[in-house]
């Protein structure tokens, strides 16, 4: 974003802060604990971030697999439902 002041072109930086208006004592306690852990054990704070990202990735993968299974089941012929090989489930049945 650029701003003209007295004929000069200035670049303006915008900082966005996300505010959570749903504040609970448990939420504040979690935030405080997170700040303490980040200061005293940055390795654990980094591990938490990595686990959170991994969890989000696995949830997205699960959602995709569920959609794929529902698609395959909804488009399967009645006789082919018994054919578990087409779903890759032959090892589990």
Find the distance separating the first CA and the last CA of the chain, reported in whole Å: 60
User: What span, in angstroms and rounded, lies between the C-alpha atoms of 73 and 71?
Assistant: 6
Looking at residue 80, its pLDDT comes to 58
Q: Which residues, other chains included, contact 90 with Cβ-Cβ below 8 Å and sequence gap of 6+? A: 84
Evaluate the CA torsion angle 81, 84, 87, 92 in order and state its sign: positive
Residues 33-82 pLDDT 10s: 989 999 999 999 999 999 999 999 999 999 999 999 999 888 877 665 55
Residues 4-17 pLDDT 10s: 555 556 566 666 66
Length of the chain counted residue by residue: 93
Q: Model pTM?
A: 0.52
20 pLDDT above the threshold of 70 = no
């Amino acid at each position: 974003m650029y701003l003209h002041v007295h004929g000069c072109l200035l670049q303006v930086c915008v900082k966005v802060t996300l505010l959570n208006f749903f504040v609970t004592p448990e939420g504040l306690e979690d935030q405080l604990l997170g700040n303490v852990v980040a200061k005293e054990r940055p390795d654990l704070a980094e591990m938490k971030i990595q686990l959170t990202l991994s969890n989000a990735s696995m949830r997205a993968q699960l959602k995709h697999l569920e959609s794929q299974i529902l698609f395959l089941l909804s488009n399967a012929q009645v006789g082919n439902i018994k054919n578990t090989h087409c779903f890759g489930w032959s090892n589990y049945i």
